[in-house]
Amino acid sequence: MHKNELDRLAIGLMVLFCTIWGLQQVAIKLASAGISPLWQAALRSLGATLIVFLWARLRGVRLYERDGTLWPGLLAGLLFAAEFALIFLGLEYTTASRGVIFLYTAPFFVALGARWLLPLEHMRRAQWAGMALAFTGILALFGEHLFSAADQAWIGDLMIVLAAMFWAATTLTVKASALARVKAEKTLLYQLAVSALCLPLLSLAFGEPGVFAPTPLVWASLFFQTFIVAGASYLGWFWLISQYPATRLSSFSFLTPVMGVLAGGVLLGEPVTPAVFAALGLVGAGIWVANRPG
């Protein structure tokens, strides 16, 4: 049954998923030391496709029914592949901190698209204010890097903004189509399988070397991305989208970059400044304002 408000289960799962997605930033950085970016994303999608397919078969999920999901599923898969291709390519031109700022404009694109595609999820002023407050937290965390751009940083910035738009479009496609009425495993398989076909071709087109320095740490990082991120957390995310308002869930995504910085501090020894805790407070306040009952 679809719910209009987030309950404790949804809130707890979103905090967990945002923590996992924050750790993903560290895992990508570690794996990039031995695997090219697009090839890394391709391997992740290939592995996760097999994992989710086996999981769906074990649970008896019907994957081949004619349920009106083929075309929206293919569209969601292409959007998913384009999102990650743009993120990885964009980071070749701009810094990770600038990329985070522009990537997390996605919830605003979800909210704008929801005005036309999801009329039952109309945003109230308090929700807009809460999202703006949470985004202010991201600016407090990374905003100083907006004024230290390299000459070609705008190319990467533009790619990351387009990636945010594709991320939002994927969410809206799932929510506004027949995909919202099927099992999360089938929704995720469309995206993983299509991206598993597209991303290797893009990697070859860009002349990437592929796996060039395999180490246990590189493979462990790829394993985490494949099983935990692309497998478990994305399954949970698409289940949540089918059960709860997409606009309210998207407001939680602002937690991800803060969790990523905290993970970098714990696992990579990167500096954790007072700005991190200020950002966490602003993001938390924004999420609370955006999700207060009407």
User: DSSP string of 27-61?
Assistant: HHHHHTTTB-HHHHHHHHHHHHHHHHHHHHHHHT-
User: Of residues 248 and 185, which shows the higher confidence score?
Assistant: 185
What mean pLDDT do residues 266-279 have?
A: 77
Residue 58 is encoded by which pair of tokens? Answer: 């074990």
Q: 138: pLDDT confidence band, cut at 50, 70 and 90?
A: confident
Cβ partners under 8 Å of residue 266, min gap 6 = none
What mean pLDDT do residues 31-36 have?
A: 90
Asked if the structure places residue 2 within a domain, the reply is no
- Residue type (1 letter), 167: W
- For residue 57, what pLDDT is reported? 92
**Domain of 137?**
8-290
User: Of residues 247 and 83, which shows the higher confidence score?
Assistant: 83
Asked if the structure places residue 189 within a domain, the reply is yes
Q: 186: pLDDT confidence band, cut at 50, 70 and 90?
A: very high
- For residue 103, what pLDDT is reported? 84
DSSP string, 249-272: HHHGGGHHHHHHHHHHHHHS----
Q: Across all residues in the chain, what is the average pLDDT?
A: 86
Q: 117: pLDDT confidence band, cut at 50, 70 and 90?
A: confident
Asked if the structure places residue 177 within a domain, the reply is yes
Asked if the structure places residue 174 within a domain, the reply is yes
Residues forming a β-bridge with 35? 211
Q: 146: pLDDT confidence band, cut at 50, 70 and 90?
A: low
Asked if the structure places residue 58 within a domain, the reply is yes
Our count of domains for the chain comes to 1
Asked if the structure places residue 3 within a domain, the reply is no
- For residue 147, what pLDDT is reported? 64
User: What are 50-75's pLDDT values in tens digits?
Assistant: 999 999 999 898 898 889 999 999 99
Asked if the structure places residue 1 within a domain, the reply is no
User: Of residues 196 and 105, which shows the higher confidence score?
Assistant: 196
